[in-house]
Amino acid sequence: MNSNRPIKLLHLYPRDMNIYGDHGNILTLQRRLEWYGYTPVVLTYDPGDSFPDNVDIIVGGGGQDSGQSKVQDDLHTIVHHLQTLADSNVPMLMVCGLYQLFGKFFKTSDDEIIKGIGLLDIETYAKPERLIGNIIVRTKEFGDVIGYENHSGQTFIGEGATAFGSVIKGAGNNMADSSEGARYNNVIGTYLHGSILPKNPRLADFLITTAVTNRYGSFEPSGTPDDHLIEPAREIALKRPR
Amino acid sequence: MPYPFVVIAGKLVRHAARLRGGGSALPGLFAEKVDPGFVSRTLQQLPHGVVVVTGTNGKTTTTKMVVELLESQGLRVFTNRSGSNFVRGVAASLLGAVKLNGKLPADIAVLELDEAHGVHFVKRVAPRYCLVLNVMRDQLDRFGEIDKTAQLLRTIADATTDSVILNREDDRVANIASTLDGRLVRYFGLAPELRQQFPTDDELHGQRAEQTPNKLAADVILESFEGDRAKFRIGEQTFETTLELHGIYNIFNAAAALTLVRTILPDASPKPLLEKLSTITPAFGRGEQFMYKGQPIEFVLVKNPSGFRLSLASFPASGNSVMIAINDRYADGRDMSWLWDVDFEGLRNSGVNLVTGIRAYDMALRLQYDLVPVERIEPDRAKALKQFLASHPDTPKRIFCSYTAMRELRREMAHYVKVGAIE
C-alpha cells in the first residue's frame, strides 16, 4: 500500500460549470482528506480531455446556460465511465446544473429536450419562476443539510432514484412536492450550493469515508479536522431569512 | 398639474420630508405620481444630455471621476447615486436641484446605474452616452446569471443615442458593440502585460488570460502602474501621473473615465485631464481612508469574487492589520457561495486579525479552508471595530467589507474620527 494514501478527486467541468462556489466543495474534500491523513490528488476534466483512471470521488457543479450547452454533448462521451464508477459505488456529488444533466432530460421553455445521461432517474422542466434562497433539507444519513438554491428548472424523481432529503425551508426539487435532490448508489445530486460541503461536514465525510473504504478497505484516519467554526456558522445560517 | 406647480409642490414635499428627517423616497414618489414625465423632461433639456455609467464593479468611483473631470473642464454636472428605486431617487434629487421655473442649472447629467434599474431608467430617458465597465459574477441571487446581466447591459447600451464606451478586455462587454449600429463605439483597454492581472470570471478556473494583444483599437490604454504611479496611452501619446486612487481596478477604470470624457469633450487636451485625475479620491467606502491615532484605516468594499480578488491583489497584506466584515442582507447578496470563489491564500502569512459581520463564521470557515489564521471572531460590528482599533495601535489597518457591513462600520467609525455624511 502506498504510504501517503492518495485519494483521487475529480472535478468535472470546472471551466464551464463552476458558478456557485463549486470550488469550495473540492477544497473542502481536499483539506479534510489532508486533515484525516490522506493525500488528495485533484484532477480536472473539461470537454475533450481524456477521462482519468482510478477516480475515487467525482464532484460537479452548476453553470450558466452557455456553460451547460458546452458540456452537455461531451457528457455523453464519458457516460460509460461515469456509469461504471457509479455502479461500483464511487461517491459523486453533482450540484445544480450537473445534477440536472445527470438525469434523463431537461425540457427547456421552448419544449426543446436536452438529453441527460440518465444516471439519475430524474426529469427536469424549465419553469418561469426562479427558486432562490436559503434552504434547509432534512436527510436521514447526514442530518439537516444547509445551503442555498438558485434554479429555474424543476426536477421530478422517478422510480429508480430516491430523494436526497426533504425540504424544511425553501423549495428543493420542485414546487409540487417536498423532495430535494436525488440519489443512486453513492451518487448524490442536489440543488444546494453555498458551498454545500463546508457547512455540512457529515456529507463531506460520507464522500470521503466511502471513497477511502472503496480504495483501501477501511477508513483509518491519522488526524481529525478542527470543526469548531462549523456549528456557529450553521446556527446562524439556519436563522437567516429565505 | 402644470409643470411649475409640480416643482414648487415637490420642493415643499421635499422640504417637509427633510424636516421629518426622512429620505428621498417620498418627494420622488410625489413628483413621479403627479407628473410621470418630470424626470425625462427635466433631464432632456440638458445641452450635453445624459451619461450613464454601468457595469458590475467600480461604478461609484468611476462616476465620481467622470463628474470631477467634466467639472474641471467647466461643465456644470448633475449627478446621483444609485439607490433603491432609481427613477424615484433621481426625481427627488432633481427636485432639490431644479429652479422654480423647472430649469436644471446643469450642462450634463452623469448617472450611475446598476443593470436592473438601468433597463427601466433608459426606457424613460435615453442616454446620449453610455459607459459599460465590466460584467462580473455578482448578485446571482438577484439577476440569475452573468449572461443575463450582460443582456441587461446590452439593453442599456442599445438605448443610448450617440456614443457607447466599452471595455475591450471583457468579452461580454466588448460583444455589446455588435448590436450598436449607427452609434459611435469607443474602447478603453489594458496593455497585454497587464491583462493577466484582471482575470474575468471565465478565467477563474482553468482558463488562462490571453497574452496576445487585443485587436480592438482603444482610445485610452492603461500601459503600466506601480504603487501610486500609472502610465496611460492616450491616442498616440503616453502620459505618466500619480494617483490618489488605490487598487488596480480603480486605475483601470480611470482609463474608462478618460475615454468617456474625451468622447463627450473631443477638444479637451489630455494633460489637464490627467492633472485633474491625479487629485481625485475614491468614492465613499471604496478605498476610503481615515486617520486614527496616527494610523490610516482603509475601507475596501467587496461585493463579488472578482472584486474581492482584485482588492486583495491591490493591497499587499504584509505590514497591515486586516479585518473582514461580511453581511448577508439583501443588498449584500444572501448567497455566501461567492466567498468560496475568492482565493485568500495571500493572507496566509500575515493572517486576519478580526472577522465580523452577520456571516462572520462563514467567513472564518472560508479562511480556515485556505489555511489563513484568524485571531478573533466577533460578529457584532460595533464591538469588532472597537477591538480592531484597540488591538494593533501601531499598524495601518484595512477593512474589507460587504456593502451593508461597510455602511454600519463607517457609521461606527464616526465615534472615533470625523466621518463625512453618509449618502
Provide, as residue numbers in chain B, all residues whose Cβ is less than 8 Å from the Cβ of A28.
369
Q: What are phi and psi of A38, to 5 degrees?
A: -110, 170
Give the cell for residue A33: 482528506
Supply the range of the domain harboring residue A130: 6-239
Task: Tell me the per-residue pLDDT of B40-62, one tens digit each, with 9 for 90 and over.
Answer: 888 888 999 999 999 988 888 89
Provide, as residue numbers in chain B, all residues whose Cβ is less than 8 Å from the Cβ of A150.
140-141, 144, 335
Is pLDDT above 90 for A70?
Answer: no
* Overall number of domains in chain A: 1
Task: Tell me the per-residue pLDDT of B285-311, one tens digit each, with 9 for 90 and over.
Answer: 666 778 899 998 988 889 888 889 888
Residue of higher predicted confidence among A44 and B99: A44
Note the maximum CA span of chain B.
Answer: 66
> Cα distance from A133 to chain B (closest Cα, Å)?
7
CA B284/CA B81 separation, integer angstroms: 11
Find where cell 436536452 sits.
A114
- B/e letters for B68-95, b = 16+ CB within 10 Å, e = fewer, are bbbbbbebebbbbbbbebbbbbbbbbbb
Contact status, residue B251 vs residue B225, Cβ threshold 8 Å: yes
Which of B340, B362, B372 has the most A C-beta neighbours within 10 Å, making it the best mutation to test the interface with A?
Answer: B340
Cis peptide bond prior to B269, omega within 30° of 0: no
Residue A39 lies in a domain: yes
Contact status, residue A202 vs residue A174, Cβ threshold 8 Å: no
DSSP per-residue letters across B13-43: HHHHHHHTT--SHHHHHHHHHH-TTHHHHHH
CATH of residue A110: 3.40.50.880
**Confidence category of residue B144, pLDDT binned at 50, 70, 90:** low
Is pLDDT above 90 for A32?
Answer: yes
Output the pLDDT for position B22.
46
CA B287/CA B253 separation, integer angstroms: 14
Beta bridge partners of A146: A136
A:B CB pairs within 8 Å = 98
> Helix %, strand %, coil % for chain A, to 5?
30, 30, 40
pLDDT average, residue stretch A201-216? 98
Output the pLDDT for position B56.
85
CA B177/CA B165 separation, integer angstroms: 9
How high is the ipTM of this complex?
A: 0.96
Closest partner CB to A20 (pick from B337, B359, B366): B337
The answer to whether A46 faces chain B, any CB pair under 8 Å, is yes
Is B300 in a helix, a strand, or coil?
Answer: strand
The answer to whether A198 faces chain B, any CB pair under 8 Å, is yes
Helix (H) or strand (E) holding B352: strand B352-356
The answer to whether A18 faces chain B, any CB pair under 8 Å, is yes
Closest partner CB to A229 (pick from B207, B361, B371): B361
> Cα distance from B143 to chain A (closest Cα, Å)?
10
Output the pLDDT for position B287.
66
Output the pLDDT for position B212.
56
Are B340 and A230 an interchain contact pair (Cβ–Cβ within 8 Å)? Answer: no
Is pLDDT above 60 for B84?
Answer: no
Closest partner CB to A233 (pick from B146, B147, B365): B365
Residue A113 lies in a domain: yes
Is pLDDT above 70 for B355?
Answer: yes
Residue A1 lies in a domain: no
In whole angstroms, how large is the CA radius of gyration of chain A? 17
Residue A68 lies in a domain: yes
CA B219/CA B230 separation, integer angstroms: 16
- Catalytic hit among A23, A76, A96, A151: A96
In chain A, what is the straight-line distance between the N-terminal and C-terminal CA atoms, in Å? 48
The answer to whether A20 faces chain B, any CB pair under 8 Å, is yes
> Cα distance from A14 to chain B (closest Cα, Å)?
6
Instruction: Estimate the crossing angle of helix B381-391 against helix B403-413, to 10 degrees.
Output: 60
Are B361 and A46 an interchain contact pair (Cβ–Cβ within 8 Å)? Answer: no
Closest partner CB to A23 (pick from B340, B377, B379): B340
**Confidence category of residue B138, pLDDT binned at 50, 70, 90:** low
Ranking A154-163, B20-29, B180-189 by mean pLDDT, the lowest is B20-29
Contact status, residue B239 vs residue B272, Cβ threshold 8 Å: no
Find where cell 432529503 sits.
A165
Q: How far is CA A162 from CA A169, A209, B363, in A?
A: 19, 21, 33
C-alpha angle B304/B310/B315, rounded to 5°?
125
**Confidence category of residue B109, pLDDT binned at 50, 70, 90:** very high
**Confidence category of residue B107, pLDDT binned at 50, 70, 90:** very high
Ranking A87-91, A197-201, B86-90 by mean pLDDT, the lowest is B86-90
Residue of higher predicted confidence among B121 and B22: B121
pLDDT average, residue stretch B349-372? 97
**Confidence category of residue B16, pLDDT binned at 50, 70, 90:** low
Please give the residue of chain A at the shortest CA–CA distance from B358. A236
The answer to whether A39 faces chain B, any CB pair under 8 Å, is no
Which of B143, B336, B366 has the most A C-beta neighbours within 10 Å, making it the best mutation to test the interface with A?
Answer: B336
Output the pLDDT for position B220.
96
- State the alpha helices, DSSP H only, in B232-348: 248-264, 270-277, 305-314
Residue A199 lies in a domain: yes
The answer to whether A233 faces chain B, any CB pair under 8 Å, is yes
Interface of B with A (CB under 8 A): 137, 140-141, 144-147, 202, 204-207, 328, 334-341, 358-359, 361-362, 364-366, 368-371, 377, 379
- State the alpha helices, DSSP H only, in chain A: 22-35, 65-77, 79-87, 97-101, 201-216, 230-239
Is pLDDT above 60 for B92?
Answer: yes
Ranking A10-19, A20-29, B14-23, B114-123 by mean pLDDT, the lowest is B14-23
Please enumerate in sequence order all residues whose Cβ is within 8 A of that of B298, keeping only pairs 6 or more positions apart, or say none: B246, B287, B288, B289, B315, B396, B397, B398, B399
Provide, as residue numbers in chain A, all residues whose Cβ is less than 8 Å from the Cβ of B333.
none
Residue A67 lies in a domain: yes
Domains in chain B and their CATH numbers?
Answer: 3-277 (3.40.1190.10), 286-413 (3.90.190.20)
pLDDT average, residue stretch B267-281? 93
DSSP per-residue letters across B207-259: PPPP-SPPSS--SEEEEEEETTEEEEEETTEEEEEE-S--SHHHHHHHHHHHH
Q: What are phi and psi of B291, to 5 degrees?
A: -105, 130
Comparing CA positions, the residue from B377, B411, B423 lying closest to residue B299 is B411
Contact status, residue A175 vs residue A131, Cβ threshold 8 Å: yes
Please give the residue of chain A at the shortest CA–CA distance from B337. A194
Give the cell for residue B204: 477563474
Are B140 and A19 an interchain contact pair (Cβ–Cβ within 8 Å)? Answer: yes
Are B205 and A15 an interchain contact pair (Cβ–Cβ within 8 Å)? Answer: yes
Task: Tell me the per-residue pLDDT of B193-239, one tens digit each, with 9 for 90 and over.
Answer: 888 777 666 655 544 444 456 789 999 999 998 877 899 999 889 99
Output the pLDDT for position B21.
46
DSSP per-residue letters across B82-130: --SSHHHHHHHHHHHHS-TTS--S-SEEEEE--HHHHHHHHHHS--SEE
Residue A116 lies in a domain: yes
**Residue A11 is among the residues annotated as catalytic for this protein:** no
Q: What are phi and psi of B62, to 5 degrees?
A: -65, -40
Are A65 and B140 an interchain contact pair (Cβ–Cβ within 8 Å)? Answer: no
The answer to whether A24 faces chain B, any CB pair under 8 Å, is yes
Are B369 and A27 an interchain contact pair (Cβ–Cβ within 8 Å)? Answer: yes
Output the pLDDT for position A46.
94
Output the pLDDT for position B209.
47
pLDDT average, residue stretch A42-70? 91
pLDDT average, residue stretch B61-78? 95
Output the pLDDT for position B423.
43
**Residue A151 is among the residues annotated as catalytic for this protein:** no
CA B207/CA A60 separation, integer angstroms: 17
The answer to whether A199 faces chain B, any CB pair under 8 Å, is yes
Output the pLDDT for position B200.
63
Output the pLDDT for position B402.
95
